[in-house]
Structures are given as C-alpha cells and as structure tokens.
Structure 1
Amino acid sequence: MKNNISNLIFVGRTKRRRRYILVTSFLALIAFALSWTMLMLGNTIYPVQDVVRVLLGEEVQGASFAVGTIRFPRMVAGVFAGFAFGVGGHIFQTMLRNPLANPNVIGITAGSSAAAVFCIIVLQASNMVVSIASVFGGLATVIVIFLLSKGSSFSIGRLILIGIGIQAMLNAVISYLLLIGKHHDIPTAMRWLSGSLNGANMENLSPLIITVLLFTPIIMALGKQLDMLELGEQAATSLGVDTNKTRLALIVSSVLIISLATASTGPIAFVAFLSGPIAKRLVGVGFSTIIPAGLVGIILVLASDLIGQFAFVARYPVGVITGILGAPYLIYLLIRINRKGDL
C-alpha cells in the first residue's frame, strides 16, 4: 500500500515537472522568436544573416544603424522591463494571496511614476536622476501602504483598498504636475506615462539590466519560501519560514526591479497584473512560477509593441495595447472577487 502511494506521488511529481519544463521552454522559445522579430521588422525588413552580422559587430550598410542603434535597445528594453514587471507582479500576488495585489493596482507603479514625472517637469532632471527618483518613489509608496494597512492586525483586503486610494491620490498629483508643466516638457512626460519603448538606448538601460541580473537569483532562491507564504502566515511559520525577513527581501527586490523598469520604459499597463495568473494557469501547481511569469511578461511586452507598431495605420505605444488587453480582465476579476466577498 505504501509503495503504491509512493509510486503515485512520484508519477504525479514527474508529470508536473515535465509540464513545467515543457511550458517554460515553450515560453522561452516564443520570447526568443519575438525578440528576433523585433530586430528584423521595421520600415526595412532585414534578413536573419544581416541581423547576426550586426550583432557580431560587423558594419552592414543601413542595418547597422537600424538594428544596432534603434531596434536592439528597444528589444532589450522590452525583454528586461517585461521580465521585471512579470516577476514583480507575480511576487506581490503570490505573497499577498490576491490577484489584485499587484504593483499597478496598489499604487507602487504610481509612486514611481509620480516621482519620475516630478523630476521631468519640475526639476528637468537627467535620465539617471529620474531613475533614482523612480526607485525611491516606489519604495516610499510601499512603506506608506504597509504602515497604513497594518492596524491592529494585517489585512490583505485593507492593504489593497489603501493601495487603490494611494494610487488615486498619486494619479491626481501626476495630473497636477502635467497641468503646471511647461509645454516642451509635457510631451516627454506624457510619452513616458503611456509606457513606451521608443527612444530606448543601452546607456540608460544599464541600471535596469544590472538590477534585474542581480536580484533575479535572490528572488529565485526565495521561490520555495514564496510558495509557502501563499499558504498563509501560520502555515509558513510552522514550516520554518522567517516570514518577516522573507517578505522584506521579496518586497525590496521586486520593488527595485519594478521601479527601474518603470523608470526605463514608463508604467507599461497591466503586464504585472496579467503575467502571474497566465503563468500559473499554464504551469500548474507544484513548481515555482517565477521564471514563467517573467517570460510571460516579456511575451506580453514584445508582442504588444509589435502590434502597436505594425497592426494599425497609426503607431501606438506598447502601454496602450497592454492596457486594452488588461482592462477587461481587471473588470472580470473585480466582479468575481465582489461576488465571493473577499474585499
């Protein structure tokens, strides 16, 4: 009897592992294909061999500028920002056990955006200052939300409602800054707020790339503890998880990568909101969905950018397309949660 149960457990785990590997590999393949598509497509379509030659440092007439200077930084921005939004959103949704508890909805992205817009319009600061302010804005917003939601006991529903209120307040601040801004600064701020990969360059992307590469291993190392936090505070503690330290490390890591992604590309709407649920649905249970969520984020950003560039007569920023994709899901989720009485 015991042997039969052990065999069933082993078979089930093997199937789940096989599904995880297949899904993750498939998502990585799609992300890779979209990356190459972004490098090849534009006003002029370049073949794969020309793109490879440019990436290897050869001088190819026309392609060197189009691919090396414009398309490659745009693709890198989409990859790293998409991964950061996907992973960061998944962490908050899993840790707080609610699909609404993501950076877009609870105001973290709005905090980064308000700080960045203040630097653009009022201080007329450099891109580096905007990036630093965006990070501190996101961290400050997280601290305020958690302090206000603490009360006598921690409540996820209270945190989400306070976060939504903070987001509304910060959006009002952003609107005021746009109202008092100088005419030549407003287009820059509006383009940034829409969430766009336009104008990306490798120099400005360096902080985002370094931060994602540094903190992703830390987040992955805490993957098991993150899954235990999803079981609840008492269950995680009984399993030996230091919930306070784990939550702090995950919050700091995710806010840093999200804030720098926001500073680099603007607040690309709903990528953090959609990536985690899609990844969980595809991967299933039993294995961490951190990397799949990041890959889904990359796919959403790159695919939406391609749609915005080539599917319509006019060209639209990537944030407009992701907003169109994410808004119906947000409405559906709010209706479902309201029926269950979770808020």
Structure 2
Amino acid sequence: MTARSSDAVDFGRRLLTVRTASRLSARVDLRTVLVVALLVLAAAAISVVALGSGDFPIAPGRVLAALVGHGDEAESLVVLHWRLPRVLMAFVLGWALGISGAIFQSLTRNPLGSPDIIGFNTGAYTGALIVILTLNQTSYYAIGGGALIGGVATALAVYLLAFKRGVQGFRLIIVGIGISAVLASVNTWLILKANLANAMSASTWGAGTLNGIVWDQARPALIGAAVLSVGVAFAAHRMPVLAMGDDTAQALGVRAEPTRLTMIVIAVALTALSTAVAGPIAFVALAAPQLARVLTRSAGVTLLPAGAMGAVILTAGDLIAARTFSARLPVGVITVAIGGLYLIWLLAREARRQ
C-alpha cells in the first residue's frame, strides 16, 4: 500500500490519497485524522486517570502495568475487575452516542437533530420503564430488549408521521419533539404509579448513570457496539451523498429513502444500546458532532470525529461525576449541565448567523 499527500482544491484542505494493491483509493483529510487521534488519546488519558482514582488510588504507571498484566494482585483486582467495566463503558457508549448524533444531524441537516431532541432517547427509556415497572423484569437483557424495542418503535412512529414524499429534516425534528413530549408524560405516569422502591431506582437510572457497571453488562454492550460499528462503516460513505439532497443522491445511484432508513435504524440501535446499559444520557449525541466539526473545520458532520468527541465528553463527565462530589452522581447530571451551556452557545451562534 502506498500513500501520497496532495493539496485539495476544495476548501484548501490537506488530503492524503491512499492507494491499495487492488487499485482502490480513498482520500483522507489529514486534519480529521489528527483530530480523531488526539481525541482518542485524550479519552484514553482520562480513562487511565479514572482507573487510578478512588478510595484506593493507583498511579498512572501502575494502572498501565495492571492493564497489560504486570500489576500486583490488589491493583489488578481494582483496575481490571472493579473499575475497568465502568470506564470502558464510558468510552464505548460515548463513542456510540457521538456517532448516533452525527448520523441524525447529517440526515436532518440540522445541529438540533439528535436523539435527545427527536425523542429516541425518551422512547428507549419508555421501553425500559415498561419492562422494569410493568412487567417487573430487572435482568439486563430484558431491560436492553425493552430499550431497543422502545427506541425502534419511537423511530418508526416519528418516521411515518414525518413522511410526506420523503422525510425532510425540519419536519422530522418537529414531529420528534412532539412525540418526545408525549412519551415524557408517559414515563412520568409510569414512575408515579410504581411503588416507591422501584420508582426511586427507575428515576436514578433514568438520569443516566454508569454506577455499578460490571463485566456481565459490559461484554454484551461491547459486542453490540462492535456489530453496529461494522454496519456504520458499510453505510457511512453514502451520508455525504444524502447531504447533497435526494435528487442528487438519486442521480448518483444512491436510493435515498432506503439508505436513510438504514442509517436511522443503526443510529437508533446505538442510542438504545446506550440506554439499556446506562439509561438515557442526555446531550452527548447533541454536542459531540458539532464540537468535532469545529475542531476538524469540515463542511459537514463526520462520524469518526463525532464518536471520538463523544468518548471524551462521557469519560470526562463520568470522572467528574464519580470523583469530584462526595456522592457519586449519575453521569447524566454532568452531561445535562454541560449540554445546557452548549445548547445556549449553539442557539446564540445560530442567532448571530441569521
């Protein structure tokens, strides 16, 4: 495989052309590659700090030794068995939420088009609540299945209600906001009808928390994230074509609606996966794609930078939630606080543009 760099005519960006032995080639933006690498390193560094923080502090060097199998028995127990599932889930779920938000913002062509705003988070939470409070099932797989069914059912309802000779981004957002409001009322009603213990548990989980994550929960989530990432890789190259408009996509041989529906299903599944593990964590999917876009200076939303930024946001938020306050707060409390400030900034920026 050989590679050469070239100056891009469009936007004056520096690109790398990669050619393989099979004569396939791809053009990679060097700035995007650098940003993704730096964000992944930042998330990894935060993860190492998180693995070493707590009632049993461990130096970063010893954390790394434990990760590669050279730590002592106590350090290996704390790092690998007690802390690693939570930290790894913060990284993976942040990645999943960032990519999910990037897909929706690309499809809707709107920075407000994310699972948080459109209501898919709320729908996944509704499905999980029905399983927990109505069916009295508390197993991980039952809750995960409920979250997935709730998220997909919400996505299907929003898609069908917004469909009119195709799906337009603004209409999808407006319909999603309405569905989200209805489902939020249903969720409140379900919690109020439950007994006190179940209601307290569901409310804490509903804030979005990584507290108590163990390997039995982390392993299936890792497998699910890996499978969905493969699906994203196969469909992602069509996203820039869809962003040009349905007519252009059809002219270039891309079937707009089937491709859009496939991407929505993948994005909803990523959101439901996160909700099944940690509850509905707000604002990561909303903020990560746009913050990554600022760093890469790209013309549109891109998946890998958004996923890496999501990993940074959630790992940092979970570290703050777990170690800064005397009580271990749900990470969703931190992401809501950060996301509220981000939303104010986003709305102010859009107002200045207009």
Aligned to 1:292: 305
* Structure 1 partner of 2:91: 79
Residue type at the aligned position of 2:290: P
More strand by share: 2
Q: Distance in 2 between matches of 1:313 and 1:65?
A: 24
SS in 2 for 1:98: coil
Bigger Cα displacement from structure 2, 65-74 vs 256-265: 65-74
Quote the Cα distance in structure 2 between the aligned partners of 1:269 and 1:132: 20
1:55-111 residue CA offsets vs partner (Å, 9 max, x unmatched): 345673433332222210101110111111000010000011111111010110100
Matched residues in 2 for 1:20 and 1:86: separation? 15
Whole-angstrom CA distance in 1 between matches of 2:93 and 2:192: 28
The aligned counterpart of 2:185 is: 172
User: Secondary structure at 2:202's aligned position in 1?
Assistant: helix
Query: Do 1:73 and 1:201's aligned partners in 2 also have CA atoms closer than 8 Å?
Result: yes
Cα distance change, pair 270–287 in 1 and its aligned pair in 2 (3 A) = closer
Q: Which residue of 2 aligns with 1:193?
A: 206
- Out of 299-308 and 117-126, give the one that drifted further: 117-126
**What pairs up with 1:1-343 in 2 under 5 angstroms?**
9=9, 12-14=12-14, 17-56=29-68, 60-125=72-137, 126-151=139-164, 154-285=167-298, 289-334=302-347
Please give the secondary structure, in 2, of the residue aligned with 1:124. Answer: coil
Distance 1:163 1:336 in 2: 23
Distance 1:287 1:337, change over 3 A: closer
- Identical-residue share of aligned pairs (%): 35
The Cα of 1:287 is off from its aligned counterpart by 8.6
Give the Cα separation in 1 of the matches to 2:283 and 2:10.
37
* Cα distance in 1 between the residues matched to 2:292 and 2:75: 35
Q: Is the 8 A contact 1:220 1:290 kept in 2?
A: no
**Structure 1 residues 230 and 268 mapped into 2: Cα distance closer, same or farther (>3 Å)?**
same
TM-score (structure 1 length as normaliser):
0.90
Aligned-pair RMSD on alpha carbons? 2.4
Aligned length: 336
Contact residue 13 and residue 286 of structure 1 kept, 8 A:
no
Q: Which runs of 5+ in 2 are unaligned?
A: 1-5, 16-27
Q: Distance in 2 between matches of 1:13 and 1:223?
A: 21
Tell me by how many angstroms 1:281 deviates.
1.2
- CA distance in structure 1 between the aligned counterparts of 2:351 and 2:299, rounded to whole angstroms: 28
Question: So what's the TM-score if we normalise by structure 2?
Answer: 0.87
Q: Is the 8 A contact 2:288 2:309 kept in 1?
A: yes
Contact 2:62-2:71 at 8 Å conserved across structures = no
8 Å CA contact 1:17, 1:287 repeated in 2: no
Contact between 2:100 and 2:270, CA under 8 Å: does it hold in 1?
yes
Bigger RCO (CA 8 Å, 6+ sep): 1
For the Cα contact (< 8 Å) 2:13–2:29, is it kept in 1?
A: yes
SS in 2 for 1:105: helix
Amino acid paired to 1:20: T
Between the aligned partners of 1:46 and 1:130, the Cα distance in structure 2 is: 34
Write the distance in 2 (CA, Å) between the matches of 1:75 and 1:307.
Answer: 12
Distance 1:22 1:131 in 2: 35
